[in-house]
Amino acid sequence: MNLDVQDKEDRLFIRIGGQLLYSEADQFKEEVLPKIGQHSIVTVDCEKLEFIDSAGTGAIVRLWKECRMVGAELELIRVIPEVQKLLHMTRLHQLAKVSGIDEVA
Amino acid sequence: MATEESKTLSFDFSTLRDIDSCLKEVMKLQKQLEAERKTATKKEQVMMQSLQESKQMALHLQQITEALAKERKAVLEKSERERLLWKLIERINSSFDLEHILQSTVDELGHHFKVNRCGIIIPNYKTNKDLVREFAIGEWKRPKETYSQVSLSVLYRTVTKTLEPLIINDTLTHELTSGHLSEDLRSILMVPLLQHNNELVGVVYLHQCRKQRNWSEHELSLLQAAAGPIATAVEKSKLFSKAKSWASREKLLNRLTSRIRGTLNINVILERTVAELGQALVASRCFINIIDPKTSREQISHEYSATKVEPLGVKKEFPLIINKMAEKNVDYIAISDIYKDPRIVKLNEKEIEQLYKTGARAFLAVPLTFQRKLYGWLCFHQCDTPRSWTSEEINFIQSIASQVSVTINQAEMVEQLTEYQTKLSRELKQAAQLQSVLLSGGADIKKNLHIAVSYQPHHNVSGDFYWICELAPHIIGILIGDVSGKGPAASLLTGYIIGEMKGLLENQRTSWDPAAFLTSLSDSIYEQNQYSDFYATAWYGIYDIVEGKIICSNAGHPSPYLMKGEVVERLNDEPGVPMGLLSADDAVGGYVQKEFYLNPSDRMVVFTDGFTEQRQLNGTFVPESWFKDALLTHKKYTLKDLPEELIRRLKIESQGAPADDDRLIIAIEMPECNTLKLTNQNEINEKVKLIIEDAINKSLPLALEPSLKLGLVEALYNSFRHGLPNAKDKDKNYITVSWWINEGTFSITIKDPGPGFNWQVLSKNKNIKDVDVLSEGGRGLPLLFEIFNKVVWNPSGNAVGLTMKW
């Protein structure tokens, strides 16, 4: 898993690549969650995220909860169809704003 | 008559010598004369006596002569009568044709009595058409219409009333005829014809025309004597005609009875019945009035009507009417003349009008009953003329009615039976379809597990059954069995067994333990057997296709064959008692559980006794060895073709004889299986990639790749997280993955060395949508159920099997 977290004023921008699996889920949470501050929006760019499992979805849920605590909105952008499918299957699209590769967030 | 006779005495005067001598001589002469006179008197007396006797004799002779003459006359008369009687008797005996007998009799009598006319009248009170035959000579012949009316005459009525002869020597002076006769009929002799019981059957008469004739005693006696044989002839003829009619009715009854027995087509039977009855009884109409059991409405179902008689019409409602004139539950209703029947007052005006409208004068109706149920009436109409229905006719019609009732009852039963059969047939078809659906429960598994099945039921619904159940992706339960008997009952038990079997297969205590499985199933059938006497044989085996291991038990079923390379051998599985015969308490020792192994490409063939108990055309059984021989010669066939080829071979072995039983065969082949071991979770990505590549090479659609990957990752991480750290045996601290792909089905089994988990409880929440969206965990198992078509664990929960189909 590759992670790149950028703090851009009121927006936290996270770029994730590779796979977000059980083995990476803890790392994701450890690296991302502490950086959530007084942001109004947290954007996760999933263009390079190839695969995600149930543990990965659990990590996303955790991220959404942290966002809500600070009043930030979570959005997952440029999500590839395979990952989108799982996000829908697990109804994460009800928590975060999910958009595909060609969609405008 | 006495006659005087003179006699001269000779006297010799020479002897007169003196007076004395003269006196003496005179005295002597006197004495002589006296003697002579005495003799003469005596003679005269004798003569007189003789004369008297002669007179008496003459008288006697005269009497004898007279007696002889009388006797001769009597003999002659007797002889004449006997001759006449004999002639008449001969004529009577020579024919059964009454008209012919009567005609020849009147001819004979007419000639014999030398009369102008001689006739015989036999009245017919039933038809009012008297039988009259008349002999007449010359000008005295008269038209038939004239003498046919004789029975209406006063003379006829007098004789038939008194039963005494009527002797009219001169019609001009006789009180009955004086001034009444228009023709020159002068003398009449009429004698009643009486049967032996003095019953009148008719009269015979003689007519002397123009010239008066005094009828002698002899003539009267002769005609009376002749009346005897004539009456006998009439009686004989009537009996003959009755016997003929009885025989003809008996024949008709037999014909109708045999027709009733010979066909179930009620319409044909009843149509012919009314036609033949109508004709046989010379009735104007004959019809059957049927009562609808549901609505009680009555209508004509079949009708015969004579020529020129208008039919009432089939389906005419309530045609009987006269049943309202009779008491309830009568044996029959007979009306000789509706215009004279006092019971008509029981009908209202409309009904009377309807009755008159039929044009019938006489009616007869006999109820059609069977076992006290009234189906309708067998009815007869006699139009235009009255008719007295005889007891013979009524008895005969009652016999027919009884047969017709049986027919209607039969038809009703046939209708019910047909309805039942149609319903049963439909239900059997549905049952067969249902059974087929029930029995095809393992079809999907067969595809992936190298199993071929062929099932040819002997009946629509049959007693053979099988089930193939995926206990885990690599472990299947195979059940095959045969219920005793065939047909619906056996099928119902089969259905019951399938239901019970499904329950037992869902329970891992029994589904993973063949002996326990058969014991429980046997118990269940035994409980049902208190209502029946069925039993079933069965073989149940658990087949691990990764290890090639088969654990099995046998309840009286034919043992399977194993095909290992070039060798075909019978599995020694020690068959136990068929299921349902013994309770669990009685079955000492229960069923034996056997274990054996197959190598890749080895086959096992399980089957029912339809393959080993088949007869040839000549009735002998096909030797059981044929099956083993056929397996040896058919080993090159593909698994898929093997069952059908074996059935084809059996048909040849049985010389084309029809199947004696259901034929069910299951052939299993040990598949080639991929297995690998993982010791570190870092290997997951690599191994998953390997497995997916294999699946894609074996036609897994690319669209399913992410799902399969997700599923495999979830399952493998689960094993690494929960199984490996808790390994019971540290030497086996790895995860074993076995997978195989066949005909659009991917199957994998993932086994860890851990103690397993309580999947029965923890896997309850199978639906991903039921997982709280805010929950950070608990999605793993629901995802497996979401992705795979089937997710199963072994009883201990340390091996999971996943199946994905496309």
Cα B535 to Cα B431, B521, B522, B577, distances in angstroms: 20, 11, 9, 10
Q: Among partner residues A21, A51, A95, which is closest to B773 by beta-carbon distance?
A: A95
- Splitting chain B (806 residues) into consecutive groups of 10 residues, what average pLDDT does each group show? 57 71 80 86 90 90 87 80 79 78 88 91 74 88 74 80 91 84 84 86 90 90 88 82 78 76 75 87 91 86 91 84 80 89 86 87 90 88 88 87 84 81 75 63 57 78 78 83 73 77 81 90 81 82 88 94 92 90 75 91 91 86 90 88 91 85 86 86 91 92 90 91 81 88 86 82 76 86 88 84 88
Burial tier of A37 (Cβ tally within 10 Å: 0-12, 13-18, 19+): exposed
Q: Number of A:B CB contacts under 8 A?
A: 56
Q: Among partner residues B769, B776, B786, which is closest to A61 by beta-carbon distance?
A: B776
Q: Is A93 on the interface with B (CB under 8 A)?
A: no
The separation between CA A72 and the C-alpha centre of its own chain, rounded to angstroms, equals 13
Q: Is A33 on the interface with B (CB under 8 A)?
A: no
Burial tier of B220 (Cβ tally within 10 Å: 0-12, 13-18, 19+): middle
Q: Over range A69-78, report the average pLDDT.
A: 92
Residue range(s) defining the domain that contains residue A65: 2-100
Residue of A nearest to B769 (CA): A90
Res B1: pLDDT: 45
Model confidence pLDDT, tens digit, residues A24-63: 999 999 999 999 888 899 999 999 999 999 999 999 999 9
Alpha-carbon span B434 to B458, nearest angstrom: 16
Show me where the domains of chain B are located. 18-87, 95-244, 263-415, 449-669, 674-805
Q: Is B394 on the interface with A (CB under 8 A)?
A: no
Model confidence pLDDT, tens digit, residues B174-220: 888 887 776 788 899 999 998 877 888 899 999 999 889 999 988 89
Could you give the strand order of the β-sheet that contains A2-8, starting from the edge strand earlier in sequence? A2-8, A11-20, A41-52, A73-79, A97-100
- Per-position DSSP letters for B117-144, written without gaps between them: EEEEEE--TTTS--EEEEEE-GGG---H
Res B3: pLDDT: 47
Tell whether domain B263-415 is in CATH 3.20.20.150: no
Alpha-carbon span A3 to B333, nearest angstrom: 112
Res B305: pLDDT: 93
Res B452: pLDDT: 87
Cross-strand pairs, B749: B738, B801
Helices (H), B94-120: 98-113
**A60 is a domain residue:** yes
With residue A89 as reference, give the H or E element that holds it: helix A81-89
- Per-position DSSP letters for B42-80, written without gaps between them: HHHHHHHHHHHHHHHHHHHHHHHHHHHHHHHHHHHHHHH
Classify domain B449-669 at the CATH topology level.
Answer: Phosphatase 2c; domain 1 (3.60.40)
Q: Do B773 and A91 touch (CB under 8 A)?
A: yes
Q: Is B730 on the interface with A (CB under 8 A)?
A: no
Q: Is B765 on the interface with A (CB under 8 A)?
A: no
Res B476: pLDDT: 86
Are B606 and B614 in contact by the 8 Å Cβ rule? The answer is no
Res B630: pLDDT: 93
Burial tier of B300 (Cβ tally within 10 Å: 0-12, 13-18, 19+): buried
For domain B674-805, the CATH superfamily is Histidine kinase-like ATPase, C-terminal domain (3.30.565.10)
Q: Among partner residues A19, A54, A62, which is closest to B779 by beta-carbon distance?
A: A54
Tokens in use for B51?
A: 């004369």
List all residues 6 or more positions away from B76 whose beta carbon is below 8 Å from its beta carbon: none
Helix axes B19-93, B217-262, angle to 10 degrees: 30
Are B605 and B563 in contact by the 8 Å Cβ rule? The answer is yes
The two domains B95-244 and B263-415 share their CATH topology (first three levels equal):
yes
* Coil vs helix vs strand at B322: helix
A23: CATH = 3.30.750.24
Cα B46 to Cα B2, B7, B8, B60, distances in angstroms: 9, 18, 22, 21
Res B445: pLDDT: 54
**A105 is a domain residue:** no
Looking at the structure, give the CATH architecture of the domain made up of residues B95-244: 2-Layer Sandwich (3.30)
* Coil vs helix vs strand at B737: strand
* Coil vs helix vs strand at B741: strand
Tokens in use for A52?
A: 């995600």
Alpha-carbon span B181 to B187, nearest angstrom: 11
Record the pTM.
0.50
Identify all chain B residues contacting A58, using CB atoms and an 8 Å cutoff. Answer: 775-777, 779
**A80 is a domain residue:** yes
Residue among B81, A43, B536 at smallest CA distance from B89: B81
Q: Is A91 on the interface with B (CB under 8 A)?
A: yes
Residue of B nearest to A50 (CA): B706
Phi, psi of B551 (to 5 degrees): -110, 130
Q: Is B776 on the interface with A (CB under 8 A)?
A: yes
* Coil vs helix vs strand at B280: helix
Q: Which of B692, B708, B710, B712 to mutate to test the interface with A (most CBs of A within 10 A)?
A: B710
Identify all chain A residues contacting B775, using CB atoms and an 8 Å cutoff. Answer: 58, 61
Q: What is the predicted ipTM? A: 0.88
Cα B474 to Cα A105, B563, B789, distances in angstroms: 47, 21, 15
Residue among B291, B350, B343 at smallest CA distance from B322: B343
**A11 is a domain residue:** yes
Model confidence pLDDT, tens digit, residues B441-472: 554 555 556 788 888 877 666 678 888 887 87
Res B798: pLDDT: 87
Helix axes B705-718, B780-787, angle to 10 degrees: 140
User: Apex CA B677: angle with CA B674 and CA B683, to 5°?
Assistant: 110
Tokens in use for B716?
A: 């493998």
Alpha-carbon span B637 to B271, nearest angstrom: 64
- The one-character DSSP state at B615 is B
Res B148: pLDDT: 65
